């Protein structure tokens, strides 16, 4: 049993004879629709929090969380600060703790000779496990966890400036400046080519057979038909400084997200402008990825890293947006030290959005963030009506990530203020009800990293146990005056006990308690002659502590005011009855 709450005072004084207290139940508090409010109707809030940082993969340039094997692939350059160790290559990490499973650092050069290669972009996952990647200057490689070396081939022509997954599983698309080519993965043979006015980056909408190619110098975006490999439309981009972060296509909707300067411009699958997403403090969008399960876009923003510019603080951010309306769904997450001076960040998202991985090439680390959802109440405690001394159990439940903790709270002022119950930190709170607990409200407060949720309040009603013969009486209102002939009875609500040790027809008390009611005398049965008053009779209505008189005492239970004259009348009447009952009969 958990400890009682600290607000419980000592038990009330002993109840008077035939005392009945009926304690009314207060109304249950209604749920409120505010963060951290009461009840199951309060919406959950979501945040992302950093839970780990991996520094085991050199200078990370790109990330890929494999959809089948669930391994985290990292394409890396060498870190200048670790001159004794070359950390470039393709690293395979355990996404839970960042432990390196293997590193593939050998790939063929232009003549087929193996050598240590950096990995600049991860283009697509291989079936089951492994990745297709780009390595300088024109290498297209493939490798999986545990391989001693990567397979690879070199694309003919100029250095590759950008690459991504192709229109078929066996191809990739590469940009060599304004030239866009479809390339076979195994041989790097060019299958088709289109030359544009200019170009910086592109993205593929395989579901709709479209490639979107951005040309920042001319502030345009070109739509290329996958079947004909020809430009079919162009879309004007907003004017700006010409800084581009990324071009990505939402595979679900076909919307194109383009990072430009300090904003993200979004167009639908036809090229129609949908809206603009802006970061905080002038940060620049550098990476984006979409989660089909949650229908959300995850955008990484990097600081300029130039203290002379307004708003530059060296900190980047992660923002999460609904793809249907571009609205933020979580509070932006600050990423300390994330700026663009030494390269662009990358992002990978676990399907469903539970975990997010963001690379920081400046610090040579990968930050793992986990989603936290505030507690959502699924069960509130119910109102209870019990007798004093009964064991009471109140139960509450809530869901959230991470698992919420719970603290029970109590209110003695109808829910205006609340205090924690000492030691009550389990979903079920058990205690023994006292009369002083009547009307108190109880609720459970659940909390985790994302916020707080509280149950609706439950009200506790406590009554005294039902009366038994010779025991404590039940509920009472106003008592009447007992008759002197042995047959009198109290008014409605009064309960007299069976007379004992008194003559037939003992009298009840005459003056009520502090509530202004009167005691009711109930006619007793025949008893042993000789004592005045007999057993106690009638119930007392009112406050104060009272004691039960013994046989032979004056009827005074619950009496708070008894005038001298009134007492004399009672004693005289009682004596008259006594003398009359004991006078011997005469004969004749």
Task: Name beta bridge partners: 38.
Answer: 454
Between the alpha carbon of residue 270 and those of residues 210, 212, 232, 253, 273, the distances in Å are 10, 11, 11, 11, 9
Give yes or no for a contact between 295 and 324, defined as CB atoms under 8 angstroms apart: yes
Whole-number Cα distances in Å, 302 to 246, 256, 287? 12, 20, 9
Tens digits of residue pLDDT in 127-185: 999 999 999 999 999 999 999 999 999 999 999 999 999 999 999 999 999 999 999 99
Quick one: average pLDDT of 390-394? 98
CA distance 102 to 364: 18
Which backbone phi and psi does 568 adopt, to 5 degrees?
A: -60, -40
More confident residue, 306 or 75: 75
Gap between the terminal Cα atoms of the chain:
78
Please provide the size of the chain in residues.
Answer: 588
Beta-carbon count within 10 A of 364 CB: 23
**Predicted pLDDT of residue 243:** 78
What single DSSP character describes residue 238? Answer: P
Query: 12 pLDDT exceeds 70?
Result: no
Phi/psi at 285 (5° precision):
-75, 125
- Residue 581: CB partners within 8 Å, gap ≥ 6? 503, 529
Burial class (CB in 10 A: 0-12, 13-18, 19+), 354: middle
The pairing of beta strand 131-135 with beta strand 72-77? unpaired
- pLDDT greater than 60 at residue 554: no
Residue 423 CA neighbour count, 13 Å, CB half: 9
The answer to whether 344 and 303 have CB atoms below 8 angstroms apart is: no
pLDDT, tens digit (0-9, with 9 covering 90-100), for 43-76: 889 999 999 999 999 999 999 999 999 999 999 9
Give pLDDT tens digits for 88-142: 999 999 999 999 999 999 999 999 999 999 999 999 999 999 999 999 999 999 9
How far apart (Å, rounded) are the C-alpha atoms in residues 556 and 539?
12
Q: How confident is the model at residue 37 (pLDDT cuts 50, 70, 90)?
A: low
Confidence of residue 312 (pLDDT cuts 50, 70, 90): confident
Give the per-residue pLDDT at 308: 79
Separation of alpha carbons 17 and 19, rounded Å:
5
Burial string for 184-221 (b: 16+ CB within 10 Å, else e) reads: bbeebebeeebebeebbbbbbbeeeebbbbbbbebebb
Largest Cα separation within the chain, whole Å, is: 153
DSSP for 401-469, please give it. ESPPEEEEEEESSTTSS-EEPTT--SSEEEEE--GGGTT-EEEEEEEETTEEEEPPPEEEEEEPPPP-T
Whether 550 shows a pLDDT value over 90: the answer reads no
How far apart are the C-alpha atoms of 51 and 57, rounded to whole Å?
A: 18
Q: Which of 281 and 456 is assigned the larger pLDDT?
A: 456
Give the three-class secondary structure for 535: coil
CA 28 to chain centre: 23
pLDDT tens digits along 479-499: 334 433 434 333 333 333 333
Q: What are the phi and psi torsion angles at 566 (to 5°)?
A: -60, -40
220, β-bridge pairs:
215, 236
* pTM confidence score: 0.71
């Amino acid at each position: 049993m958990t400890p009682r709450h600290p607000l419980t005072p000592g038990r009330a004084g002993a109840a008077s004879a035939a005392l009945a207290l009926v304690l009314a139940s207060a109304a249950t508090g209604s749920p409120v629709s505010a963060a951290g409010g009461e009840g199951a109707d309060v919406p959950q809030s979501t945040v992302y929090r950093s839970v780990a940082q991996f520094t085991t993969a050199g200078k990370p340039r790109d990330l890929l969380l494999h959809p089948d094997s669930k391994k985290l692939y990292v394409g890396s350059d060498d870190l200048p600060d670790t001159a004794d160790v070359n950390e470039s290559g393709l690293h395979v990490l355990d996404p839970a703790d960042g432990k390196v499973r293997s590193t593939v650092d050998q790939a063929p050069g232009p003549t087929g000779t193996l050598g240590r290669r950096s990995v600049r972009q991860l283009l697509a996952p291989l079936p089951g496990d492994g990745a297709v990647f780009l390595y300088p200057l024109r290498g297209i490689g493939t490798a999986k966890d545990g391989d001693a070396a990567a397979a690879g081939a070199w694309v003919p022509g100029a250095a590759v400036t950008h690459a991504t997954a192709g229109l078929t599983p066996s191809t990739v698309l590469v940009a060599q400046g304004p030239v866009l080519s479809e390339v076979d993965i195994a041989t790097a043979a060019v299958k088709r080519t289109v030359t544009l006015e200019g170009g910086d980056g592109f993205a593929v909408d395989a579901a709709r057979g479209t490639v979107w190619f951005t040309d920042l110098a001319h502030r345009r975006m070109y739509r290329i038909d996958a079947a004909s490999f020809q430009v079919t439309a162009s879309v004007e981009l907003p004017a700006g400084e010409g800084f581009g972060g990324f071009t990505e296509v939402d595979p679900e909707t076909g919307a194109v997200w383009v990072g430009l300067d300090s904003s993200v411009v979004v167009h639908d699958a036809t090229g129609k402008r949908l809206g603009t997403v802006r970061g905080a403090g002038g940060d620049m969008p550098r990476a984006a990825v979409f989660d089909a399960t949650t229908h959300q876009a995850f955008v990484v923003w990097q600081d300029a890293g130039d203290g002379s510019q307004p708003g530059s603080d060296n900190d980047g951010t992660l923002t999460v947006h609904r793809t249907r309306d571009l609205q933020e769904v979580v509070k932006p997450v600050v990423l300390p030290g994330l700026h663009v001076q030494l390269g662009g960040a990358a992002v990978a998202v676990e399907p469903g959005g539970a975990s997010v991985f963001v690379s920081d090439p400046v610090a040579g680390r990968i930050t793992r963030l986990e989603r936290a959802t505030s507690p959502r109440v699924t069960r509130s405690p119910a109102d209870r009506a019990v007798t004093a001394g009964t064991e009471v159990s109140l139960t509450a439940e809530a869901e959230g990530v991470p698992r919420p903790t719970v603290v029970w709270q109590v209110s003695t002022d109808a829910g205006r203020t609340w205090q924690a119950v000492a030691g009550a930190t389990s979903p079920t709170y058990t205690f023994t009800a006292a009369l002083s607990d009547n009307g108190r409200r109880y609720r459970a407060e659940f909390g985790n990293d994302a916020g707080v949720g509280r149950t609706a309040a439950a009200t506790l009603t406590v009554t005294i146990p039902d009366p038994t013969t010779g025991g404590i009486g039940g509920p009472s209102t106003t008592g009447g005056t007992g008759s002197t002939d042995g047959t009198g009875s109290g008014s409605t609500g009064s309960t007299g006990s069976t007379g004992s040790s008194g003559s037939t027809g003992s009298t009840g008390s005459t003056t009520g308690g502090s509530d202004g009611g009167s005691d009711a005398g109930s006619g007793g049965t025949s008893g042993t002659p000789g004592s005045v008053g007999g057993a106690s009779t009638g119930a007392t209505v009112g406050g104060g502590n009272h004691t039960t008189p013994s046989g032979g005492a004056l009827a005074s239970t619950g009496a708070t005011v008894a005038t001298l004259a009134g007492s004399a009348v009672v004693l005289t009447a009682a004596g008259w009855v006594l003398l009359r009952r004991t006078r011997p009969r005469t004969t004749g």
